[in-house]
Amino acid sequence: MDLTLHVWRQSGSNADGRLVTYEAKDISPDMSFLEMLDVVNEGLIEKGEEPITFDHDCREGICGACGMMINGNAHGPQGGTTACQLHMRSFKDGDSITIEPWRAAAFPVLKDLMVDRSAFDRIIQAGGYVSVNTGSAPDANEIPVPKADADVAFEAAACIGCGACVAQCPNSAAQLFTSAKVSHLGLLPQGQPERYQRVVEMVAQMESESFGSCTNHRECEAACPKEISTDFIARMNRDYFAALFKGKRPASAG
């Protein structure tokens, strides 16, 4: 099939960007979306033009590196699918496809479709862990976990940190990402000692970054390639207010 692409090109963080039109010819329906871009890039290199920069790594939908707006949808039109697992059979001959980077103040563009998502790392650093040093763990079966709790915790832990939730949100909010980790750990017995301090620390960090606020559009849930539920946002909010009543404040607040 032949396609017309409108791709965001931006040479660096401080440069102006623009959409550039490319023709993608003889695209096989069996190609992944990123393989289609590979083919376009090989054509660009042949012509002496710099190829399109985009983040990608595992190409099997688990590392969370890839991500782009495809016709206005984070990771494209197919639900529960990362851009690398989207295949060209989802498109038809003659289609026009607009490809843009994640658009969020907290994710500045580095080049073309590549953005800086380090804000996510800082949210985890603020408290997204159980504080247990290597060597101090009790026998694994000394802490039974009800299967139902373990299963829900797993649903939250499946987050790949790609940023689609933020990119799709009209407010660029990071509630789904943050709540996924708050819930994963908060649902497990191992996470209880730090449960309330964790949520205030992570929320404080989230709010100090350039994310917007959640106004319950639930676009994040629809865009999430791992189909993580907004129920976790409600859960995080409950924990957050409970923490405030318990007098928990982020350490940085003095």
Partner 1 sequence: MKLDAKIPEGPIEKKWDEHRFHMKLVNPANKRKFNVIVVGTGLAGASAAATMAELGYNVKAFCYQDSARRAHSIAAQGGINAAKNYQNDGDSVYRLFYDTVKGGDYRSREANVYRLAQVSVNIIDQCAAQGVPFAREYGGMLDNRSFGGAQVSRTFYARGQTGQQLLLGAYQALSRQIHTGKVKMYPRTEMLDVVLVDGHAKGVVVRDLVTGEVSSHAGDAVVLATGGYGNVFFLSTNAKGCNVTAAWRAHRRGALFANPCYTQIHPTCIPVSGDHQSKLTLMSESLRNDGRIWVPKKGGDNRPPGQIPEQDRDYYLERRYPSFGNLVPRDVASRNAKAVCDEGRGVGPGGLGVYLDFADAIGRLGQDTVSAKYGNLFHMYEKITGENPYQVPMRIYPAVHYTMGGLWVDYNLMTNIPGLYAIGEANFSDHGANRLGASALMQGLADGYFVLPYTIGNYLAQHMGEDVTTDDQAFKNVEAEVAGRVDRLMSINGSRSVDSFHRELGKLIWDYCGMARNAEGLNTALEKVPALREEFWNDVRVLGSAENVNQSLEKAGRVADFFELGELMCRDALDRDESCGGHFREEHQTEEGEALRDDESFSFVSAWEKKEGTDWQLHKEHLEFEYVKLTQRSYK
Residues 195-254 that bind partner 1 (CB under 8 A): none
Contact between 73 and partner 1 by CB under 8 A: the answer reads: no
- Subset of 29-58 contacting partner 1 (CB under 8 A): 29-32, 34-36, 38-39, 42, 45-46, 48-51, 53, 55-58
Binding segment for partner 1 (CB under 8 A), chosen from 25-33, 93-101, 165-173, 236-244, is 25-33
Site string for partner 1, 97-136 (x = CB under 8 A): -------------xx--x-xxx-xx--xxxxxxxxxxxxx
Reported as type and span, the H/E element at residue 6 is: strand 3-9
| Cα separation, 78 vs 90, whole angstroms | 8
Specify which residues 8 forms β-bridges with: 19
| Cα separation, 26 vs 197, whole angstroms | 55
Contact between 63 and partner 1 by CB under 8 A: the answer reads: yes
Contact between 139 and partner 1 by CB under 8 A: the answer reads: yes
Contact between 93 and partner 1 by CB under 8 A: the answer reads: no
Contact between 76 and partner 1 by CB under 8 A: the answer reads: no
One-letter amino acid for residue 145 of the chain: V
Contact between 19 and partner 1 by CB under 8 A: the answer reads: no
- Subset of 143-162 contacting partner 1 (CB under 8 A): 143-147, 150, 153-154, 157-158, 160-161
Strands 96-100 and 3-9: parallel
Contact between 191 and partner 1 by CB under 8 A: the answer reads: yes
At 168, give phi and psi (nearest 5°).
-85, -25
Count the helices and strands in the chain (H runs, E runs). 8, 7
Residue 88 near residue 29, CB atoms below 8 Å = yes
